[in-house]
C-alpha cells in the first residue's frame, strides 16, 4: 500500500464533483508523450490539460502531483523513474484518478481476452455508460506490485464485478479470494469460459500447447500463427511439399464425419457443464447458430457474434436495453487474433453451410493490418512462415 493509503478518502470523494474536492487541488495537469492528447476527460467533462513530458515537468512545482495518461503509463513511469520522480509522490495513474473523481459507479471486468471485448462492447451501451465507469483487467497476465495494489483498491470500491466462472480448483480459489474483497452491495456476474475444438481439430489433435514454429517478437505477445496446425507441422517435419500438404488436408474425408459429430456433441456438453457455475449462459445460442454464423475464430477465441450476444445477455441481466450498434461492432476487431480456416472435411462433416463456397475468406492477423486469405492461401503462408522457422531452429539460429 505504498501510495494507495494517500487516497483513502475514497468513500467521501466519490460523492462530490472534482471542483469540490480540496485535496485534489494540487493535481493541475497530465503529461503524455502522445502529441494528440490535449485533455483528460471525466464524465464527459474536460478536467485537466495534457502537456508533453518536458513542458509538464517544467510547470510542476514541488507540491504538484502529475496524472499520467493510461495508454503509455508503464513506459512513462520508467521514463520518470530515470529522471528521479516516484509514483504516488510525484505522479499518479490516470485510471486511478478517474476512479477517485468520477460521479459514476465503478464496474470491473476481470477475465480472459474475450472479456476485454465484452468490456469494449459495454462501452457502446448508452444506458450502461451513463451509470458506470468501466475498467478491464486481464486474468492471466502477471500483475506488477503496483498494478495489483490498484486492482485490490478498485475491488474495495467496486459496484459491479464481471468475471469468468472457472471449474479449475486453482482458478476457483483465486476468484473466491477476489470476491471476498468486494463490498457488500457489489453486484457480481459470472461469465462462462468458452472454447470449442471441434471446428479446428488440427490445432489440438493429439498435442496441446502453442505452436513451436511461431516465433514471436519480444515487442509483442501477438503473432499470426499462435494456433498450431499439427498436421502441417508434422508434414513439414517429414519434408512434404506445399502441393503434397494441400492435397492431403483438402480431402473431404481427412476428418471422419462420425468422429466430428461425436466431438461436437461432447464439446457442447462440456460448455453446458461449465455454464452451471456461471450466471450468463451461451450454449443455446451456439447450438441455434451452428452452421449459420461464424461462431469461433479459432479453437479458443469466440467471434464478434458471440461476444455481442454475451454483452446483450449481461445488459439484460442488469436491466438495461440490449440495443447495441451491432453492424459497427461486427466490423470491429474485437479480438486481436487470426481466424483459422476450417478444413473442408470439417465443413462437410458438421454441415457448416456458412463456410461453403469458393469465395470464402478468413481474416489473417498481421502486423500491417488484417489480410483476407482463402484456405489455400492461409496454408501457403503458414507453410512458408513455419517452415522457415523450423529450418532456422534446426540450424541453431533460434532457440528450441
Nearest CA-CA partner of 251 in 225, 231, 237: 231
Q: What pLDDT shows up at residue 33? A: 78
- Report how far residue 68's alpha carbon sits from residue 50's, in angstroms, rounded to the nearest whole number: 9
* pLDDT recorded at residue 142: 81
The x, y and z cell numbers of residue 263, run together, are: 466431438
Q: What share of the chain is helix, strand, coil (3-state, %, to 5)?
A: 45, 15, 40
CA torsion sign for 294, 297, 303, 304 is negative
Integer Cα distance of 287 and 195 in angstroms:
14
CA distances, 105 to each of 108, 110, 187 (Å): 10, 16, 11
**Count of C-beta atoms within a 10 Å radius of residue 363:** 16
The answer to whether the beta carbons of residues 186 and 159 sit under 8 Å apart is: yes
Instruction: Give the three-state DSSP class for 61.
Output: coil
Q: What is the pLDDT of residue 6?
A: 33
Is the CB of residue 24 less than 8 Å from the CB of residue 30?
A: no
Reading the block at residue 242, the C-alpha cell is 506445399
Distance CA 113, CA 115 (A): 5
Closest CA to 94 of 125, 129, 50, 54: 50
Instruction: Give 115: exposed, middle or buried? Use CB within 10 Å, 0-12, 13-18, 19+.
Output: buried
pTM of the model: 0.81
Compute the Cα dihedral for 152, 158, 163, 165 and give only its sign: positive
* Residue 340 DSSP symbol: P
Distance between CA atoms of 310 and 280, rounded to whole angstroms? 7
Q: Output the tens digit of pLDDT for each of the chain's 400 residues.
A: 223 333 333 333 343 334 344 444 456 777 777 788 888 777 777 877 888 877 877 877 666 667 776 566 677 777 878 888 776 667 777 766 777 677 789 999 999 989 999 999 999 999 999 999 899 998 887 887 767 877 887 888 899 999 999 878 888 888 888 999 999 999 999 999 999 999 999 998 655 568 888 877 777 777 889 889 999 999 999 999 999 999 999 999 999 999 999 999 999 999 999 999 999 999 999 999 999 999 999 999 999 999 999 999 999 999 999 999 999 999 998 988 889 999 999 999 999 999 998 789 999 988 888 899 999 999 999 999 999 999 988 888 877 6
Which helix (H) or strand (E) segment is 138 a member of?
Answer: strand 132-138
> Which 3 state secondary structure label does DSSP give 365?
strand
Q: Residue 104 carries which DSSP code?
A: S
Please state the φ and ψ torsions of residue 393, each to the nearest 5 degrees.
Answer: -65, -45
CA distance 104 to 100: 10
Amino acid at each position: 500500500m505504498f501510495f494507495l493509503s494517500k487516497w483513502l478518502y475514497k468513500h467521501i470523494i466519490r460523492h462530490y464533483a472534482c471542483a469540490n474536492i480540496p485535496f485534489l487541488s494540487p493535481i493541475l495537469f497530465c503529461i503524455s508523450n502522445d502529441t494528440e492528447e490535449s485533455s483528460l476527460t471525466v464524465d464527459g467533462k474536460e478536467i485537466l490539460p495534457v502537456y508533453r513530458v518536458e513542458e509538464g515537468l517544467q510547470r510542476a512545482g514541488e507540491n504538484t502531483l502529475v496524472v499520467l495518461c493510461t495508454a503509455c503509463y508503464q513506459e512513462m513511469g520508467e521514463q520518470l523513474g530515470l529522471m528521479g520522480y516516484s509514483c504516488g509522490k510525484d505522479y499518479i495513474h490516470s485510471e486511478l484518478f478517474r476512479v477517485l473523481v468520477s460521479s459514476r459507479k465503478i464496474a470491473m471486468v476481470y477475465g480472459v481476452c474475450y472479456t476485454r471485448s465484452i468490456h469494449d462492447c459495454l462501452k457502446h451501451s448508452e444506458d450502461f455508460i451513463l451509470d458506470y465507469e468501466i475498467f478491464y483487467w486481464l486474468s492471466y497476465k502477471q500483475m506488477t506490485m503496483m498494478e495489483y495494489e490498484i486492482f485490490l483498491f478498485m475491488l474495495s470500491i467496486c459496484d459491479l464485478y464481471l468475471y469468468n466462472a472457472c471449474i479449475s480448483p486453482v482458478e476457483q480459489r483465486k476468484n473466491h479470494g477476489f470476491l471476498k474483497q468486494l463490498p457488500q452491495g457489489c453486484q457480481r456476474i459470472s461469465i462462462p469460459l468458452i472454447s470449442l475444438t471441434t471446428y479446428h481439430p488440427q490445432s489440438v489433435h493429439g498435442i496441446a500447447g502453442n505452436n513451436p514454429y511461431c516465433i514471436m517478437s519480444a515487442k509483442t505477445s501477438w503473432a499470426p500463427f499462435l494456433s498450431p496446425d499439427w498436421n502441417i507441422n508434422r508434414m513439414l517435419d517429414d519434408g512434404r511439399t506445399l502441393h503434397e500438404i494441400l492435397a492431403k488436408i483438402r480431402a473431404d474425408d481427412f476428418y471422419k464425419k462420425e468422429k466430428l459429430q461425436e466431438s461436437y456433441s461432447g464439446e457442447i456438453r462440456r460448455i453446458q457443464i461449465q455454464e452451471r457455475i456461471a450466471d450468463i449462459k451461451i450454449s443455446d445460442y451456439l447450438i441455434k447458430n451452428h452452421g449459420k454464423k461464424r461462431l469461433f475464430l479459432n479453437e479458443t477465441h469466440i467471434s464478434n457474434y458471440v461476444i455481442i450476444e454475451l454483452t446483450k445477455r449481461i445488459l439484460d441481466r442488469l436491466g438495461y436495453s440490449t440495443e447495441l450498434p451491432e453492424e459497427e461492432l461486427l466490423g470491429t476487431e474485437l479480438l486481436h487474433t487470426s481466424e483459422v480456416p476450417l478444413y473442408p472435411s470439417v465443413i462437410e462433416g458438421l454441415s457448416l453451410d456458412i463456410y461453403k463456397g469458393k469465395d470464402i475468406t478468413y481474416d489473417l492477423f498481421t502486423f500491417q493490418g488484417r489480410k483476407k486469405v482463402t484456405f489455400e492461401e492461409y496454408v501457403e503462408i503458414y507453410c512458408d512462415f513455419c517452415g522457415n522457422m523450423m529450418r532456422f531452429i534446426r540450424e541453431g539460429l533460434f532457440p528450441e
